[in-house]
Amino acid sequence: MAFTVPLPRLPLDGGSARWYEHELGWATADGPPVQLLTGLRFDVLELPAAAGTAALRRLGGEWPVALEGHRMRMLVAAGSADELPGLLDWLEWGGVALDLTALGTGGRTTAPVPPGRSGPGVPGTAVWLRPPRPGREVEPTLPALLATGGSGAGAPGLVRLVDTAASECHRVRLLGAAGAATPLSGWRPRRPA
């Protein structure tokens, strides 16, 4: 009986960093886990996964989106994080408690496992729902204010994305609050006599 020895594997973090740096040209910070630096090539719009899933269903598109635990991270054009507070005010979401944030210049986000590679298999590990494509510039595909040159065919404009994401975050928050405040588990309607 012949035993086979598997080929050596690159460490996950080292291989991930190389993939992001060499295949995509993205800046990284050493981990573990490897971190992607925001504000250079892209910013990140972060929201609850349930709200993000509903927003993606409404918007469609093909721009890069990641998931880590119960949080969705949508890549948007660099500079978008600075625009978020003003956009929320302009869209009349200012002052509403939304679980919607953005990471921009100086921020970091956990690098998802590159497509086609196995990760640690730990629940909550960052993964790509819509991975970036090597050899393809990411900037033209990201949601952006139309004046910045982004929002290609595969992405909505930043205003539409923020409005949709805010609506879904608010809906998720209200549904969660309604479920917590008024438990209806044993409730039955009265039958007319």
Q: Which of 37, 50, 56, 66 is nearest to 124 (CA)?
A: 66
- Do the Cβ atoms of 178 and 62 come closer than 8 Å? no
For 58, list phi and psi in degrees, rounded to 5: -75, -35
Least trusted range by pLDDT, from 79-83, 123-127, 143-147: 143-147
| Confidence label for 1 from pLDDT (cuts 50, 70 and 90) | low
Determine the average pLDDT of the residues in 138-148.
78
| Confidence label for 116 from pLDDT (cuts 50, 70 and 90) | confident
Distance CA 118, CA 133 (A): 17
User: What value does the CA radius of gyration of the chain take, rounded to a whole number of Å?
Assistant: 20
Total-model pTM: 0.80
Handedness of CA 37, 125, 21, 17 (dihedral sign): positive
pLDDT by residue (tens digit) across 22-74?
A: 999 999 998 788 999 999 999 999 999 999 999 999 998 889 999 999 999 99
